[in-house]
Protein backbone atom coordinates (compact mmCIF):
# COMPACT_ATOMS: atom_id res chain seq x y z
CA UNK A 1 0.00 0.00 0.00
CA UNK A 2 1.20 3.49 -0.82
CA UNK A 3 1.95 5.76 2.11
CA UNK A 4 0.34 8.99 0.87
CA UNK A 5 2.13 11.21 3.37
CA UNK A 6 5.49 9.78 2.25
CA UNK A 7 4.53 10.11 -1.44
CA UNK A 8 3.54 13.74 -0.87
CA UNK A 9 6.77 14.43 1.03
CA UNK A 10 8.80 12.84 -1.80
CA UNK A 11 6.92 14.93 -4.37
CA UNK A 12 7.51 18.16 -2.43
CA UNK A 13 11.21 17.35 -1.99
CA UNK A 14 11.60 16.65 -5.74
CA UNK A 15 9.73 19.86 -6.57
CA UNK A 16 11.95 21.91 -4.25
CA UNK A 17 15.11 20.35 -5.73
CA UNK A 18 13.86 21.11 -9.25
CA UNK A 19 13.10 24.69 -8.29
CA UNK A 20 16.64 25.19 -6.95
CA UNK A 21 18.16 23.57 -10.06
CA UNK A 22 16.12 25.69 -12.50
CA UNK A 23 16.59 28.91 -10.51
CA UNK A 24 20.36 28.35 -10.50
CA UNK A 25 20.29 27.70 -14.24
CA UNK A 26 18.31 30.90 -14.84
CA UNK A 27 20.77 32.95 -12.75
CA UNK A 28 23.73 31.54 -14.70
CA UNK A 29 22.07 32.21 -18.06
CA UNK A 30 21.11 35.77 -17.09
CA UNK A 31 24.69 36.47 -16.04
CA UNK A 32 26.09 34.91 -19.22
CA UNK A 33 24.00 36.95 -21.69
CA UNK A 34 23.97 40.43 -20.14
CA UNK A 35 27.59 41.51 -20.63
CA UNK A 36 27.81 40.35 -24.26
CA UNK A 37 24.49 42.05 -25.09
CA UNK A 38 25.75 45.31 -23.56
CA UNK A 39 29.03 45.06 -25.47
CA UNK A 40 27.10 44.57 -28.72
CA UNK A 41 25.07 47.75 -28.13
CA UNK A 42 21.78 45.89 -27.69
CA UNK A 43 19.52 47.66 -25.20
CA UNK A 44 16.55 45.29 -25.17
CA UNK A 45 15.61 41.80 -26.27
CA UNK A 46 12.23 40.12 -26.68
CA UNK A 47 12.05 36.34 -27.00
CA UNK A 48 8.59 35.41 -28.31
CA UNK A 49 7.17 31.94 -27.63
CA UNK A 50 3.93 30.15 -28.44
CA UNK A 51 2.53 26.68 -27.92
CA UNK A 52 -0.55 24.53 -27.58
CA UNK A 53 -1.64 20.91 -27.94
CA UNK A 54 1.41 19.56 -26.07
CA UNK A 55 3.94 21.39 -28.26
CA UNK A 56 5.58 24.79 -28.00
CA UNK A 57 8.65 26.69 -29.05
CA UNK A 58 10.48 29.98 -29.10
CA UNK A 59 9.14 31.59 -32.27
CA UNK A 60 11.41 34.60 -32.75
CA UNK A 61 14.04 36.68 -30.98
CA UNK A 62 13.88 40.46 -31.42
CA UNK A 63 16.80 42.66 -30.39
CA UNK A 64 16.86 46.46 -30.30
CA UNK A 65 19.60 49.07 -30.28
CA UNK A 66 19.79 52.38 -28.38
CA UNK A 67 17.49 54.09 -30.94
CA UNK A 68 14.93 51.30 -30.37
CA UNK A 69 15.52 50.05 -33.91
CA UNK A 70 15.30 46.32 -34.43
CA UNK A 71 18.75 44.91 -35.00
CA UNK A 72 19.99 41.50 -36.02
CA UNK A 73 20.95 39.33 -33.07
CA UNK A 74 24.65 38.67 -33.58
CA UNK A 75 26.01 35.13 -33.68
CA UNK A 76 28.04 35.98 -30.59
CA UNK A 77 29.38 33.08 -28.54
CA UNK A 78 28.36 32.95 -24.89
CA UNK A 79 30.20 31.07 -22.15
CA UNK A 80 27.92 29.31 -19.66
CA UNK A 81 29.07 27.97 -16.32
CA UNK A 82 27.65 24.58 -15.46
CA UNK A 83 26.77 23.25 -12.02
CA UNK A 84 30.20 21.70 -11.53
CA UNK A 85 31.90 24.99 -12.49
CA UNK A 86 32.87 23.71 -15.92
CA UNK A 87 32.20 26.04 -18.83
CA UNK A 88 30.56 25.41 -22.17
CA UNK A 89 30.24 27.67 -25.14
CA UNK A 90 26.99 28.22 -27.03
CA UNK A 91 25.48 30.83 -29.30
CA UNK A 92 23.67 33.88 -27.95
CA UNK A 93 20.47 32.63 -29.62
CA UNK A 94 20.73 29.23 -27.92
CA UNK A 95 21.43 30.81 -24.54
CA UNK A 96 18.38 33.10 -24.85
CA UNK A 97 16.16 30.19 -25.90
CA UNK A 98 17.47 28.10 -22.99
CA UNK A 99 16.78 30.99 -20.61
CA UNK A 100 13.21 31.33 -21.90
CA UNK A 101 12.47 27.62 -21.55
CA UNK A 102 13.92 27.57 -18.03
CA UNK A 103 11.80 30.58 -17.01
CA UNK A 104 8.69 28.88 -18.39
CA UNK A 105 9.58 25.63 -16.60
CA UNK A 106 9.94 27.51 -13.31
CA UNK A 107 6.89 29.77 -13.52
CA UNK A 108 4.48 28.04 -15.92
CA UNK A 109 5.25 24.32 -16.20
CA UNK A 110 3.07 22.73 -18.86
CA UNK A 111 2.60 26.07 -20.66
CA UNK A 112 2.48 24.24 -23.98
CA UNK A 113 -0.27 21.79 -23.01
CA UNK A 114 -3.91 21.86 -24.06
CA UNK A 115 -4.90 25.41 -25.12
CA UNK A 116 -1.31 26.45 -24.39
CA UNK A 117 0.20 29.87 -23.91
CA UNK A 118 2.06 32.57 -25.73
CA UNK A 119 4.07 35.58 -24.74
CA UNK A 120 7.62 36.80 -24.44
CA UNK A 121 10.60 37.03 -22.18
CA UNK A 122 11.56 40.71 -22.21
CA UNK A 123 15.08 41.79 -21.27
CA UNK A 124 15.99 45.38 -20.47
CA UNK A 125 19.73 45.08 -20.97
CA UNK A 126 20.63 48.48 -19.51
CA UNK A 127 18.66 47.79 -16.31
CA UNK A 128 19.60 44.13 -16.21
CA UNK A 129 15.94 43.22 -15.74
CA UNK A 130 14.08 40.20 -17.06
CA UNK A 131 10.28 40.01 -17.29
CA UNK A 132 8.34 36.92 -18.37
CA UNK A 133 5.01 37.85 -19.97
CA UNK A 134 3.03 34.62 -20.29
CA UNK A 135 -0.56 34.59 -21.52
CA UNK A 136 -2.14 31.26 -20.58
CA UNK A 137 -5.04 30.22 -22.79
CA UNK A 138 -8.01 28.12 -21.74
CA UNK A 139 -11.43 27.11 -22.98
CA UNK A 140 -14.30 28.21 -20.80
CA UNK A 141 -18.03 27.85 -20.97
CA UNK A 142 -21.02 28.83 -18.89
CA UNK A 143 -23.37 26.07 -17.84
CA UNK A 144 -26.95 27.05 -16.99
CA UNK A 145 -29.74 24.89 -15.53
CA UNK A 146 -33.21 26.40 -15.51
CA UNK A 147 -36.25 24.71 -14.13
CA UNK A 148 -39.30 25.29 -16.27
| CA gap 117, 71 in Å, rounded | 26
Which residues share a beta bridge with 122? 46, 131
pTM confidence score = 0.88
Categorize the per-residue pLDDT at 96 as very low, low, confident or very high, splitting at 50, 70 and 90. very high
Structural contact between residues 112 and 56, judged by C-beta atoms closer than 8 angstroms:
yes
pLDDT at 84 over 80: no
* Model pLDDT for residues 15-74, shown as the tens digit of each residue: 889 899 999 999 999 999 999 999 999 999 999 999 999 999 999 999 999 999 998 888
Computed over every residue of the chain, the mean pLDDT equals: 93
Amino acid sequence: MVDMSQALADFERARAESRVRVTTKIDRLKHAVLAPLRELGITSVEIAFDGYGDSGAVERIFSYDAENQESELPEEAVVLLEGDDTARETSMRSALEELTYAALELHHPGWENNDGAGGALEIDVAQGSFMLDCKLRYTAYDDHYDEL
